[in-house]
Amino acid sequence: MKYIVLIPIYNERESLRELIDKINYEVKDLNSELSIVVINDASSQQIVDTYTNTENINSIEIVNMKQNKGHARCIASGLKYIFEKKEFDYVIPMDGDGEDRPEEIKNFIQIAEKSEGKSIVGERVKRSEGLFFKLCYQFHKFLTLAFTGQSIKFGNFTCLSKSTIEKMLKEKATWNSFSGSLKKIEKNLLSIPSIRGTRYFGPSKMSFFNLLKHSFSIISVYRKTVLIRSALFIVFYILLIKSNASIITSLPLVFLMIMIYSISSLALRENMSEFENSLENINDIDIIK
């Protein structure tokens, strides 16, 4: 079986070097063929480095993009590039900063070998961030479940079969939200427990604002369901507060309208034409091995 690890990167040269070294160590006893494709999302720093430990990795290449398109679109472009240019059975997208742990790659591969072509997600069972972020993350999951009816407990760290990737490339939501699109197109996903690791270098880039944007991007994939549930909530809430209406009791409706507006704006990012032409954004490719 052939596996390709897809790593989106932006100004994480030191982390990428550390990650490749750890991947090389973790896959040393596997009988499968594993390659690495790095999508460099127009980093402002030099990404190519010296990679000394690569004997257990079949090939490594860095695809340099002309313009920065953001994390989700970087992954989407990588999936399209691999699907059109490479031979593979599964793709394992993972962040390049250490928060997706390379020691879990072999867990994905062990399940994939007997999964009969099903895709696998890494469900978060433990996180490494502080209490405030953990609370915000739980709120994000609650918000997603309440307005979409979907429980999404995974991020980018997955193991995708070729058939799943083909479906994702036909789904415009992939251009805006990786996990939202995957949950939408695949109803029978396998899962393994996944622990969120700590960054190799520097603080986390996932701020509260970015987490909120990430949450709304996922929710926007199910915007029809969101609109129906929001309309029902508004009707019942107005009936509930009609005898005690005030500025304070109206705040939930204001917040809901802001959320609907934000979701609608993020949904405009779903551009199938841009997605189909995303490989035109490739500047050049560095063959490392």
Instruction: Note whether residue 229 is domain-resident.
Output: no
- The chain-wide mean pLDDT, for the chain, equals 90
Instruction: Note whether residue 238 is domain-resident.
Output: no
For the stretch 67-122, pLDDT in tens is 999 999 999 999 999 999 999 999 999 999 988 999 999 999 999 999 888 999 99
Instruction: Note whether residue 82 is domain-resident.
Output: yes
Instruction: Note whether residue 18 is domain-resident.
Output: yes
Q: CB-based burial of residue 46 (10 Å sphere; 0-12 exposed, 13-18 middle, 19+ buried)?
A: exposed
pLDDT at residue 133, as a whole number: 65
Sheet holding 2-9, edge to edge: 190-195, 120-126, 154-161, 90-93, 2-9, 33-40, 60-65, 282-287
Domain count, the chain: 1
Instruction: Note whether residue 220 is domain-resident.
Output: no
Domain of 25: which CATH number? 3.90.550.10
Question: Can you read off the two tokens belonging to residue 68?
Answer: 């920065």
Instruction: Note whether residue 73 is domain-resident.
Output: yes
With 70 as the cut, is the pLDDT of residue 143 above it?
A: yes
Residue type present at position 244: N
Domain range for residue 62?
Answer: 2-203+271-287
Of the segments 85-94, 187-196, 230-239, which one has the largest average pLDDT value? 85-94
CA-closest candidate to residue 106, choices 28, 168, 1, 177: 28
Task: Give dist(CA 39, CA 25) in Å, integer.
Answer: 22
Dihedral (CA of 127, 45, 72, 215) sign: positive
Instruction: Note whether residue 89 is domain-resident.
Output: yes
Distance of CA 88 to the CA centre of its chain: 20
Instruction: Note whether residue 121 is domain-resident.
Output: yes
